[in-house]
Amino acid sequence: MEQKIPEKLKKFFTKKNTIIVCVAAAAAVLVIVLLRFFVKECNFYQEHYYENTYINGIDCSNMTPAEVKEILQADVDSFQLTVKTVSGDDPVITAQDLNMIYVDDGRLDEILQEQKPSGWIGGHFGDSNYDAATEISYDQDMLNDWVSSLPFMTDYTVSEDAALVQGEDGYWSIKEEVIGNEPDQDAVRTLIREAVENRESEVSVTDESLYYAPEIYADDEDLNAELEEKNYAQRIEELTSAVITFRLPDGESKVLDKDTLKNWIVEGDTIDDIKISRKKIDAWAEEMAAYFPTDSGEKYFVTTDGEVLTLYYGYSYGWTYDAEGTADKLEKAIKSGKTKDLTPALIREDSEGNDTGNIYVEISIDQQNMWVYKDGELMVDTPIVSGNLSISGRATPRNGVWAITAKMSPHHMVGAADENGNPSYECDVDYWMPFNDAIGIHDLASRTAFGGDIYKTNGSHGCINTPYKAVQQIYSIVSVGTPVVVY
């Protein structure tokens, strides 16, 4: 039997079905919308990074790799490096100066590929951090050229080591080091290159290690030890460099050279302590006394030419060897460091040992010349004419020392009587100074030429004929007792 559905119930179910249908339809629409949105977002994140994606600290949310690359290139473009220098003139180099660009190594694309497009919803609930190398490329030649052109790389003072230098006096001193500012070019280039490649904003080239410094300073112990050693050797060289030929009588000599003088060195702890032993000098001078005997009344004389003569004739006046004075002269000669002849020191005495002063007359027969000395100074230097060698008995006696016995002005000279009892000669002179009996120094109006070989054939009777002006000067200098040496 067919049951009838109540009208109210029928209306209820009809209304409910309608609601269900509507809800189902709405749900279906929502699902479709959501699905389409999800698919759309999936498609979007196939080319974009998730929300909250950070690469090298940069927020790359919803950005494509290309957009991030543009940001990185812009960052590279903004690069500039300031080089801090000692002078404070700090040059700057930029990315544009180096043709610097960002180099894509593919990492940004890899990061995108690593994310699943369907997982984009998770990006909203947490950060994703990635590291990507930011490689750059630049023109290294341009960098090298720029660094090379920096003022401190081209204008600098080269450091110099302290060194020993020898002065004109032979001694050494230390030339102090020069502290320059020459850069180690390779080290500077490396430092700046690394700063560029690390994209630093500032690099300092003020560190001392980047500049060449002296290796040896003035206070270096080895250098100072070498200085002392060299100057010590120089002092000994200085004291022993003299070569002294000591004149002995009658052409003999003794030579003092480095080998001898080295044995006379007294060494010490310092250069100032090094010296020649005065005791050795005194001893040597005493040894030389053996070459100047006086047992037979010998006297000695040093000529104007430096020849040492033994004088055997004449009065009691003469010169004897002075050991102490010779030692003084020798010490002075050694200190001079020169090669030289040295004559002995002589003391002029009379027979009683009394010093007779420092005026004397020197006459050389061979040179036909006469000198007069006073206190060691040459007062007269004149040619003469001595006794005639061509006539027997008229040669002027030589190799002796006599003394002025008188001074007369004017004077009438009378020669010894001849076989007929008449004077051998008579003449008037303005100045007469006898020193060996009738032999003396005088002017002669009839003689106009002096010196040379005149005496050999046209000489005097034995006297010393002297030019007028010279004899006049001699007369004013000498006194009775003044020695006259003839050789």
Write down the pLDDT at residue 126.
76
pLDDT tens for residues 156-178?
999 999 999 999 999 999 999 99
Write down the pLDDT at residue 5.
60
Model confidence at 453: pLDDT above 80: yes
Distance (Å, whole) CA 469 – CA 383: 12
pLDDT tens for residues 96-132?
999 999 998 889 988 888 888 877 787 777 788 998 8
- Tokens describing residue 257: 């050279």
Please say whether the beta carbons of 95 and 77 come within 8 A.
yes
Model confidence at 9: pLDDT above 60: no
Neighbouring residues of 120: CB distance < 8 A, sequence distance ≥ 6: 41, 42, 44, 45, 50, 51
Cis peptide preceding 397, ω within 30 of 0: no
Strand partners, 373: 360, 378
φ, ψ of residue 406 in degrees (nearest 5): -165, 160
Model confidence at 463: pLDDT above 90: yes
Distance (Å, whole) CA 375 – CA 390: 37
pLDDT tens for residues 23-57?
777 777 777 877 787 778 778 888 898 899 998 88
Helix H or strand E segment including 331: helix 323-336
**CB-CB neighbours of 20 under 10 Å:** 10
Question: For the purposes of burial, counting CB atoms within 10 Å of the CB of 243, is it exposed (0-12), middle (13-18) or buried (19 or more)?
Answer: middle
> 4-18, 200-214, 224-238, 408-422 — which is least confidently predicted?
4-18
Write down the pLDDT at residue 133.
82
Please say whether the beta carbons of 193 and 148 come within 8 A.
no
What average pLDDT does the chain have?
89
φ, ψ of residue 25 in degrees (nearest 5): -65, -40
Of residues 359 and 296, more confidently modeled: 359
Distance (Å, whole) CA 95 – CA 80: 6
Write down the pLDDT at residue 15.
67
Distance (Å, whole) CA 204 – CA 347: 83
| Domain made up of 278-486: CATH architecture | Beta Barrel (2.40)
Write down the pLDDT at residue 354.
45
pLDDT tens for residues 352-393?
444 445 899 999 999 999 999 998 899 999 999 999 999 999
Instruction: Give how far Cα 270 sits from Cα of 113, 227, 267, 377, Å.
Output: 87, 12, 8, 41
Instruction: Give how far Cα 76 sits from Cα of 3, 143, 228, 311, Å.
Output: 87, 16, 63, 110
> 74-88, 121-135, 395-409 — which is least confidently predicted?
121-135
Write down the pLDDT at residue 317.
64
Neighbouring residues of 302: CB distance < 8 A, sequence distance ≥ 6: 247, 308, 309, 319, 343, 344, 346
Neighbouring residues of 16: CB distance < 8 A, sequence distance ≥ 6: none
Mean pLDDT of 466-478: 97
| pLDDT band, residue 245 (cuts 50/70/90) | very high
Amino acid at 11: K
Distance (Å, whole) CA 210 – CA 184: 6
What percentage of the chain carries pLDDT values higher than 70?
A: 93
Mean pLDDT of 244-258: 92
Please say whether the beta carbons of 202 and 81 come within 8 A.
yes
The count of C-alpha atoms lying within 13 angstroms of the C-alpha of 46, restricted to the half-sphere facing its C-beta, is: 7
Model confidence at 315: pLDDT above 70: no
Q: Which bin fits 296, alpha (ψ -120 to 50), beta or left (φ > 0)?
A: alpha
Mean pLDDT of 467-485: 95
In the block, tokens 């080319």 appear at 47
pLDDT tens for residues 259-268?
999 999 998 8
**CB-CB neighbours of 263 under 10 Å:** 10
**CB-CB neighbours of 53 under 10 Å:** 23
What percentage of the chain carries pLDDT values higher than 90?
A: 64
| pLDDT band, residue 3 (cuts 50/70/90) | low
Q: What is the dihedral of CA 414, 419, 422, 425, to 10 degrees?
A: -40
- Please tell me whether residue 483 adopts helix, strand or coil conformation: strand
- Please tell me whether residue 180 adopts helix, strand or coil conformation: coil
Q: What is the DSSP string of 262-315?
A: HTTEE--SSGGG-EE-HHHHHHHHHHHGGGS--TT--EEEE-TTS-EEEE-EES
Please say whether the beta carbons of 386 and 365 come within 8 A.
yes
Write down the pLDDT at residue 353.
46
Write down the pLDDT at residue 297.
77
Strand partners, 361: 372, 484
Write down the pLDDT at residue 457.
96
Distance (Å, whole) CA 76 – CA 137: 10
Q: What is the DSSP string of 389-427?
A: TTSTT-SPP-SEEEE----BSSEEEEPPB-TTSSBS-EE
Distance (Å, whole) CA 84 – CA 202: 7
Question: For the purposes of burial, counting CB atoms within 10 Å of the CB of 398, is it exposed (0-12), middle (13-18) or buried (19 or more)?
Answer: middle
φ, ψ of residue 243 in degrees (nearest 5): -120, 110
Write down the pLDDT at residue 355.
46
Question: For 345, which DSSP code?
Answer: P
> 15-29, 294-308, 333-347, 387-401 — which is least confidently predicted?
15-29
Distance (Å, whole) CA 115 – CA 120: 8
